[in-house]
């Protein structure tokens, strides 16, 4: 059967000093599959939209800021991640320059600046703990991973890394 995932972006906005990252605490809708978790910003691509335009749109919609510099850090295939076990494929970005003032909240939850080294102490998707170190490791040019899910939990994690 062909792999026909939902295409999505996931972005981590850095503070001007690159010490903190803007995360959303999904705390507004108890019926949200992400409820209670912290996550980067992003979402599904619109039809006819490239991944960079999609990432910029999501950051503008969710945080109220405009990306002026972003870097693709990698991709992740999430077979079985969706509510009905549907497949997702994500493009993971670092946003290292932006203009405007970040919102303090949106319809999905509260936006919070968190020290990068404190991220692992937050309630995250279990699978995020595997790939987040790669997102923030500047020695790695890009990573490309596969993380199958079942019943909301990762089954395995494998990835390839592109070097310098």
**What confidence score (pLDDT) does residue 71 get?**
97
The per-residue pLDDT for 164 is 58
Domain range summary for the chain, segments of one domain joined by +: 6-162
DSSP strands (E only) in the chain: 6-14, 20-25, 38-39, 41-44, 66-78, 88-99, 105-106, 109-115, 142-146, 149-150, 153-154, 158-162
**Cα 107 → chain centroid:** 17
Backbone angles phi, psi at 76, to 5 degrees: -140, 130
With CA atoms as reference, report the closest residue to 81 among 164, 153, 9. 153
Give the homologous superfamily in CATH for domain 6-162: Nucleoside Triphosphate Pyrophosphohydrolase (3.90.79.10)
Joined together, the tokens standing for residue 47 give 């039809």
Provide the pLDDT for residue 42: 97
One digit per residue, the tens of pLDDT, for the chain of length 164 reads 778 899 999 999 999 999 999 999 999 988 877 889 999 999 999 999 999 999 999 999 999 999 999 999 999 999 998 878 899 999 999 999 999 999 999 999 999 999 999 999 999 999 999 999 999 999 999 999 999 999 889 999 999 998 75
How many angstroms separate the CA atoms of 86 and 106, rounded? 26
Instruction: Look at residue 149 in the predicted model and tell me its pLDDT.
Output: 93
């Amino acid at each position: 059967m062909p792999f026909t995932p939902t295409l999505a972006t996931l972005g981590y906005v850095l503070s001007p000093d690159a010490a903190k990252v803007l995360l959303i605490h999904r705390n507004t809708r108890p019926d949200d599959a992400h409820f209670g978790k912290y996550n980067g910003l992003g979402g599904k691509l619109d039809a006819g939209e490239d991944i960079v335009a999609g990432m910029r749109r999501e950051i503008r919609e969710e945080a109220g800021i405009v990306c002026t510099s972003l870097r693709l850090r990698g991709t992740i295939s999430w077979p079985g991640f969706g509510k009905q076990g549907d497949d997702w494929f994500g493009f993971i970005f670092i946003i290292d320059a932006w203009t405007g003032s970040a919102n303090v909240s949106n319809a999905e939850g509260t936006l919070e600046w968190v020290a990068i080294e404190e991220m692992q102490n937050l309630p995250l998707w279990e699978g995020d703990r595997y790939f987040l170190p790669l997102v923030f490791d500047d020695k790695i040019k890009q990573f490309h991973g596969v993380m199958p899910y079942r019943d909301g939990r990762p089954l395995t994690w494998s990835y390839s890394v592109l070097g310098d």
